[in-house]
């Protein structure tokens, strides 16, 4: 038995350490370890509640906007603010553009290098001027003996794509995608002030009163994104997934948890009932039965986390959390959230399995692709396409609203913090379900907490000793060469970890939070 440690696991957000044990060339046990803690929520106590949006926005610069969004939803509920249609749609446009950036960046810049043998470029014999320029560029870097940051790397393996044409095209698209993710941020910034770390989304709505010119500028950039998503991103994912990576896809490498959760998000009406991304639960591998979410079934365990065991209970509203760095058996700063006692996978695959869009399901069925690393990339790409088309509808909807006499973007009546109040904002971030919870006393934050996507996916064992979703996903992953655990990092990265989000101190909330707003 060999023990393999990957630390730092790079090309993710935050600091992650993975320890796996390998027997007979396969992973037999796994520990995922969050190694950083900032303690942002306790610091919020006693502050003006409106600060929470600004501060929690900065929990993560990759999920940029998502925390500000969830925080505003929680504050909207606590303040009793009714976000006008204009504010709701602009929030959707700000966040939606960031997802286009996020998913594309994840595939090309965080993941793709695990699947291609980049040095195959040298063998490219084609005539395409663009690809020849890419070949020329890389060969010059090689000749100069300076191929950072593309090397050093794990050695290519049996699943690595080494077709010179495909590899050269992938590198060209890596460079093109760098431009597209920057342009997506620019789109978002049109309404958001800047990205990452937007300033526009606040309690009650947004601050940027748009002009038609701004909407049209957004639309024009969006059309360029849609073109790229259809012709390049989705095409690449399908070319890889149904081509060289089909064996990985059909074997369901990195499948893991058979349970999926989506809070849903992006409201299309003022009541928050019509969500673009649907809410639902799938349990025990039964993909046909979408169950409603019962928030009361969410609990958190800490036996294996560097926190003291709570005397007050296990729901996110009642638990205590006090750090204990010397605790026996504990191995991570991440807690272990469970739904009905079970680990849940969140993220694009969970959302798409809940929604079952026909185009994606047809592909998965036709090629017999099982839930796993490759399916996650496919779900993420397909979701990007659906979202990009929906953003066009929201541009139309916004322009229609702007034509109304009483066009509004903000609930000014509810700008000042109430004496007391509480609220939850439950929505989706690019990498999965995200919830913010606030309690206000004496016009100040009495308590604040976040339950974030990576806490679900990268949770440690729970009190029953049951592994978290990624720990499960790693079991059985082939590692023929212990010095080259490339399949391990493929599986981990397919879940798009964001450790800065996952690792934070949650303080006790003594009362139940009864108000929710989902997705708006």
Partner 1 sequence: MGNLNLLNAKGVSRRDFMKLIGATIAALGLPELFVPQAANAMEQALEKPPVIWLEGMDCTGCTESTIASLNPSAAELILDMISLRYHETIMAGSGNKSEEAYQEALKDNFILVVEGSVPSKEDRYCMVGGKPFRKTLIEAAQKARVIIAVGSCASEGGGIPGACATGAVGVSEILKAEGISTPLINLPCCPVKPTTLMGTILYYLTYQKVPPLDQQNRPLAFYGTLLHDNCPRRGHFENGEYLTDWNDPLQKEYCLILKGCKGPKTYTDCAQVWWNDNTNFCINAGSPCSGCSEKNFYQEFSPLYSKQENFKLPGIGQVNADTVGKTVGGAAAVGIGVHLIATAASGRLKKQGHKEDM
Interface pick for partner 1 out of 1, 125, 127, 144 (rule CB under 8 A):
144
Is residue 430 close enough to count as binding partner 1 by CB under 8 A? no
Based on CB atoms, which residue is closest to partner 1, 17 or 278? Answer: 17
Based on CB atoms, which residue is closest to partner 1, 200 or 427? Answer: 200
Interface pick for partner 1 out of 152, 292, 403, 465 (rule CB under 8 A):
152
Are the C-beta atoms of 16 and 455 separated by less than 8 Å?
Answer: no
423 sits in which H/E element: strand 420-429
Give least dist CB 347 to partner 1, A.
Answer: 18
Is residue 434 close enough to count as binding partner 1 by CB under 8 A? no
Long-range contacts of 4-8 (CB under 8 A, 24+ apart): 4/479, 4/482, 4/485, 4/488, 6/485, 6/488, 6/489, 7/33, 7/35
- Applying CB under 8 A, which part among 145-153, 242-250, 348-356, 368-376 lies near partner 1? 145-153
Based on CB atoms, which residue is closest to partner 1, 258 or 478? Answer: 478
Give least dist CB 139 to partner 1, A.
Answer: 8
Give the Cα separation of 147 and 135 in Å (integer). Answer: 13
Is residue 151 close enough to count as binding partner 1 by CB under 8 A? yes
Give least dist CB 114 to partner 1, A.
Answer: 9
Based on CB atoms, which residue is closest to partner 1, 197 or 342? Answer: 197
Give the Cα separation of 377 and 490 in Å (integer). Answer: 11
Tokens encoding 368: 């017999």
> Pattern 249-288, binding to partner 1, x per CB under 8 A?
----------------------------------------
Extended beta strands in 104-223, E state: 201-202, 205-206
> Pattern 159-188, binding to partner 1, x per CB under 8 A?
----------------x--xx-xxx-xx-x
Give the Cα separation of 377 and 369 in Å (integer). Answer: 12
Tokens encoding 125: 């014999």
* Nearest one of 295, 291, 333 to 316, comparing CA atoms: 295
Interface pick for partner 1 out of 29, 82, 128, 137 (rule CB under 8 A):
137
Interface pick for partner 1 out of 80, 193, 476, 508 (rule CB under 8 A):
193
* CA end-to-end span of the chain: 50
- Applying CB under 8 A, which part among 70-78, 159-167, 201-209, 366-374 lies near partner 1? 201-209
* Nearest one of 85, 86, 172 to 124, comparing CA atoms: 172
Q: Is the dihedral of CA 439, 414, 196, 388 positive or negative?
A: positive
Is residue 58 close enough to count as binding partner 1 by CB under 8 A? yes
Tokens encoding 205: 């709505």
Give least dist CB 47 to partner 1, A.
Answer: 6
Is residue 303 close enough to count as binding partner 1 by CB under 8 A? no
Give least dist CB 2 to partner 1, A.
Answer: 14
Based on CB atoms, which residue is closest to partner 1, 36 or 419? Answer: 36
Interface pick for partner 1 out of 21, 29, 48, 270 (rule CB under 8 A):
48
Is residue 61 close enough to count as binding partner 1 by CB under 8 A? yes
Interface pick for partner 1 out of 14, 241, 265, 316 (rule CB under 8 A):
14
Interface pick for partner 1 out of 40, 75, 95, 100 (rule CB under 8 A):
40
Tokens encoding 306: 């560097």
Is residue 8 close enough to count as binding partner 1 by CB under 8 A? yes
Give the Cα separation of 299 and 103 in Å (integer). Answer: 29
Pairing label, strands 420-429, 516-518:
parallel
Based on CB atoms, which residue is closest to partner 1, 311 or 325? Answer: 325
Q: Rule CB under 8 A: which of 381-410 touch partner 1?
A: 407-410
Helical axes 358-366 vs 373-402, angle rounded to 10°: 170
- Applying CB under 8 A, which part among 140-148, 257-265, 276-284, 290-298 lies near partner 1? 140-148
Q: What are phi and psi of 508, to 5 degrees?
A: -65, 140
Give least dist CB 409 to partner 1, A.
Answer: 6
Give the Cα separation of 44 and 360 in Å (integer). Answer: 42
Q: What are phi and psi of 83, to 5 degrees?
A: -70, 125
Is residue 64 close enough to count as binding partner 1 by CB under 8 A? yes
- Applying CB under 8 A, which part among 122-130, 193-201, 226-234, 368-376 lies near partner 1? 193-201
- Applying CB under 8 A, which part among 195-203, 354-362, 366-374, 463-471 lies near partner 1? 195-203
Q: What are phi and psi of 4, to 5 degrees?
A: -115, 130
Query: What secondary structure does DSSP assign to 252-309, as a single string?
Result: TTT---S-EEE--EEESSTTS-SEEEPPEEE-TT-TT-PBPP-GGGEEEE-TTBTBPP
Are the C-beta atoms of 436 and 70 separated by less than 8 Å?
Answer: yes
Give the Cα separation of 423 and 489 in Å (integer). Answer: 38
Give the Cα separation of 96 and 438 in Å (integer). Answer: 24
Is residue 35 close enough to count as binding partner 1 by CB under 8 A? yes
- Applying CB under 8 A, which part among 58-66, 388-396, 424-432, 447-455 lies near partner 1? 58-66
Q: Rule CB under 8 A: which of 480-509 touch partner 1?
A: 485, 489, 500
Are the C-beta atoms of 474 and 254 separated by less than 8 Å?
Answer: yes
Interface pick for partner 1 out of 21, 26, 28, 37 (rule CB under 8 A):
37
Give least dist CB 437 to partner 1, A.
Answer: 19
């Amino acid at each position: 038995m060999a023990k393999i440690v990957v630390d730092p696991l790079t090309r993710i957000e935050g600091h992650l350490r993975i320890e796996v044990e390998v027997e007979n060339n396969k992973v037999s046990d796994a520990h995922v370890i969050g190694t950083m803690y900032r303690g942002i929520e306790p610091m919020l106590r006693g502050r003006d509640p409106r600060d929470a949006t600004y501060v929690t926005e900065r929990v993560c610069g990759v999920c940029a906007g998502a925390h500000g969004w969830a925080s505003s939803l929680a504050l909207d509920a606590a303040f009793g603010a009714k976000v006008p249609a204009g504010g709701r749609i602009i929030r959707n446009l700000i966040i939606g553009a960031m997802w286009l950036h996020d998913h594309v960046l994840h595939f090309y810049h965080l993941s793709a290098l695990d699947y291609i043998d980049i040095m195959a470029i040298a063998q490219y014999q084609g005539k395409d001027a663009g690809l020849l320029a890419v070949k020329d560029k890389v060969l010059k870097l090689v000749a100069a003996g300076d191929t950072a940051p593309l090397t050093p790397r794990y050695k290519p393996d049996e699943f690595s794509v080494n077709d010179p044409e495909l590899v050269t095209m992938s590198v060209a698209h890596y460079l093109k995608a760098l431009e597209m993710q920057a342009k997506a941020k620019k789109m978002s910034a049109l309404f958001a002030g800047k990205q990452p770390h937007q300033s526009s989304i606040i309690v009650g709505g947004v601050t940027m009163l748009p002009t038609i010119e701004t909407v049209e500028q957004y639309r024009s950039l969006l059309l360029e994104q849609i073109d790229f998503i259809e012709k390049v991103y989705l095409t690449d994912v399908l070319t890889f997934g149904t081509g060289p990576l089909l064996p990985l896809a059909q074997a369901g490498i990195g499948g893991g948890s058979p349970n999926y959760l989506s809070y849903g998000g992006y409201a299309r009406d003022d009541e928050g009932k019509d969500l673009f991304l649907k809410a639902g639960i799938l349990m025990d591998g039964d993909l046909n039965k979408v169950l409603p979410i019962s928030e009361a079934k969410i609990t958190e365990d800490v036996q294996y986390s560097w926190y003291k065991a709570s005397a007050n209970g296990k729901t996110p509203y009642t638990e205590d959390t006090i750090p204990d760095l010397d605790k026996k058996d504990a191995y991570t700063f991440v807690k272990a959230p469970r739904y009905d006692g079970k680990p849940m996978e969140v993220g694009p695959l969970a959302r798409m399995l809940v929604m079952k869009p026909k185009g994606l399901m047809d592909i998965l069925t036709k090629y017999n692709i099982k839930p796993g690393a490759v399916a996650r990339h496919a779900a993420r790409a397909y979701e990007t396409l659906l979202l990009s088309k929906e953003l066009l509808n929201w541009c139309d909807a916004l322009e229609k609203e702007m034509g109304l006499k009483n066009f509004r973007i903000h609930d000014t009546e509810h700008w000042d913090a109430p004496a007391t109040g509480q609220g939850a904002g439950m929505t989706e971030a690019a990498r999965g379900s995200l919830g913010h919870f606030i309690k206000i006393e004496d016009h100040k934050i009495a308590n604040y907490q976040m339950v974030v996507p990576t806490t679900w996916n990268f949770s440690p064992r729970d009190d029953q000793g049951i592994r978290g979703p990624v720990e499960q996903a790693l079991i059985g992953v082939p590692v023929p060469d212990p010095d080259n655990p490339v399949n391990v990092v493929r599986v981990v990265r397919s879940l798009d970890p964001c450790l800065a989000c996952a690792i934070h101190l949650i303080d006790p909330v003594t009362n139940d939070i009864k108000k929710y707003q989902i997705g708006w």
